[in-house]
Chains A and B, each alone.
Chain A
Amino acid sequence: RKEVEQDPGPFNVPEGATVAFNCTYSNSASQSFFWYRQDCRKEPKLLMSVYSSGNEDGRFTAQLNRASQYISLLIRDSKLSDSATYLCVVNIRGGNTPLVFGKGTRLSVIA
């Protein structure tokens, strides 16, 4: 099983749609979770951290399900500018060790 696994997509959705991505992780003891966004030919950028109780930032909602070992990202009212690759990121090995990045889910929002 891969440490961090995502559906690569692409997800093609119309503007205004709601879209959700899931990501599974292998280590039940993982403590830190993040979603990053990467635009074409750019660096990954932190979108949001994922907290145990779930958290929201505008149109974006992140949730953690420890029992099933997955995190999710929900985007409401999709904009054209949301088109990007979304990377699921987990501190798999715990402590002060590098984050492990999924390969990303590609989203295209279409007018």
Chain B
Amino acid sequence: DAGVIQSPRHEVTEMGQEVTLRCKPISGHNSLFWYRQTMMRGLELLIYFNNNVPIDDSGMPEDRFSAKMPNASFSTLKIQPSEPRDSAVYFCASSPGGSNQPQHFGDGTRLSIL
């Protein structure tokens, strides 16, 4: 069974560049989540979607971050312009929806902004 698929696995770019992270959730899952993980802060929820609609983006650090989910099988997280402090591992997760459902994570994108 295909799990959550993220791309790219690694991204190294210079500050000021635009970065786009991609995610394909598990087919049939109604909820999609974007997280950022660092040693200092642990796993932080950035934004989540239910049925392709953004529900809560209060975790997005600032206006440089944006996320879209144009259809049930694809989502993007964009950082423009990127800064060194954005360096982290970004995870996408999906779940069937509902309060008793666990979330399933992709492999993550390891982002380094130089």
A98 within 8 A of B: yes
Interfacial chain B residues near A32, Cβ < 8 Å: 99-101
Taken residue by residue from 84 to 105, chain B's Cβ proximity to chain A (1 for < 8 Å, 0 otherwise) reads as 0000000100000111111111
- Give the contacting residue for B48; candidates A46, A98, A103; CB below 8 A: A98
Bound together, the chains give a CA A106 to CA B100 distance in angstroms of 26
Say whether, besides A43-B91, A44-B43, A87-B43, A99 and B97 are in contact (CB < 8 Å). no
Bound together, the chains give a CA A88 to CA B108 distance in angstroms of 20
Interfacial chain A residues near B33, Cβ < 8 Å: 98
Bound together, the chains give a CA A33 to CA B102 distance in angstroms of 9
Q: Size range of the interface on A?
A: 20 to 34
Q: Size range of the interface on B?
A: 20 to 34
B83 within 8 A of A: no
Segment among A10-18, A57-65, A71-79, A89-97 that sits at the interface with chain B: A89-97
Bound together, the chains give a CA A101 to CA B35 distance in angstroms of 11
B70 within 8 A of A: no
Interfacial chain A residues near B98, Cβ < 8 Å: 96
- Give the contacting residue for B45; candidates A42, A96, A98; CB below 8 A: A98
A49 within 8 A of B: yes
- Give the contacting residue for B102; candidates A31, A99, A102; CB below 8 A: A99
Bound together, the chains give a CA A101 to CA B9 distance in angstroms of 23
Bound together, the chains give a CA A91 to CA B23 distance in angstroms of 23
Interfacial chain B residues near A101, Cβ < 8 Å: 42-43
B31 within 8 A of A: yes
